[in-house]
Amino acid sequence: MILSPSMLSADFSCLKEQITQAENAGAKWLHIDVMDGIFVPNISFGACVYKCLKEHTNLFFDVHLMITKPERYIKEFADAGADMITFHTEATDKISECIDMIHELGKKAGIAINPETGTDEVKPYLDKADMVLVMSVHPGHGGQAYISDVDGKIQELRKICGPDYLIEVDGGIKKSNIKHVTDLGANVIVAGSAVFNDDIAGSVKGLLEEI
């Protein structure tokens, strides 16, 4: 079970300190939300921000691209230190090519679907990709409530993908529902506001204890 704290909810004035606290408390991954203001209504930050953090941490950089036509920027995000690059199937008509590009750059590839997108959109690519990301909020902002309509998709994907495949769930996950999501079959859990809005180390430990 992997916890991937989402940097989007961190205090950007002291990112290094905050991610170090999460790492020291037991987190292994860092979820990095890149938003372009087009695929989603919000703009977050680009590759130059997490590039600066790379030398200060051993966290696995789990980069979630909420950008249109991700093929334009895959190399830049890989070069900046991404370990996993996940893009949305809704954002490109070059899904297979994007996975190949990511692999050719020596990184893991993830494919993401929005809450209203069916699993049929990812099924043809599951063998080729390393991870599927099920969004459990409408992408664009931290701090939203978990949409339980996605429960069935998580269960279905776990059945299809077998026990070891990486299934990440992102949005609205807290101490009160993290166990519910892992019981459905998720094994990579993103938590933003539940980690960074409070005592970071205590929150990471609390979430890890639940799973």
Binding site for Zn ion (CB under 5 A): 33, 64, 170
Q: Which of 93, 170, 198, 199 is catalytic?
A: 170
Kindly give, in sequence order, each residue whose CB lies less than 8 Å from that of residue 4, ignoring residues fewer than 6 positions away.
27, 29, 30, 31, 62, 168, 188, 189, 190, 191
Q: Which of residues 42-61 bind ligand DX5 (CB under 6 A)?
A: none
SS3 state at 69: coil
> Is 170 among the catalytic positions?
yes
State the binding partner of 137 from Zn ion, ligand DX5, none, CB within 5 to 8 A by kind.
ligand DX5
Residues paired with residue 64 on neighbouring β-strands, in sequence order: 33, 86
Q: Which of 33, 36, 130, 151 is catalytic?
A: 33
Cβ at position 27, least distance to ligand DX5 in Å:
13
Count of residues engaged in binding ligand DX5, rule: CB under 6 A: 21
Cβ at position 29, least distance to Zn ion in Å:
12
User: Using an 8 Å Cβ cutoff, are 168 and 160 in contact?
Assistant: no
Which of 71, 2, 1, 77 minimizes the C-alpha distance to 33? 77
C-alpha torsion sign, points 131, 138, 76, 72: positive
142 sits near ligand DX5 (criterion: CB under 6 A): yes
36 sits near ligand DX5 (criterion: CB under 6 A): no
Site residues, ligand DX5 (CB under 6 A): 6, 8-9, 31, 33, 64, 137, 139-140, 142-144, 170-173, 190-194
Instruction: Catalogue the active-site residues.
Output: 33, 170
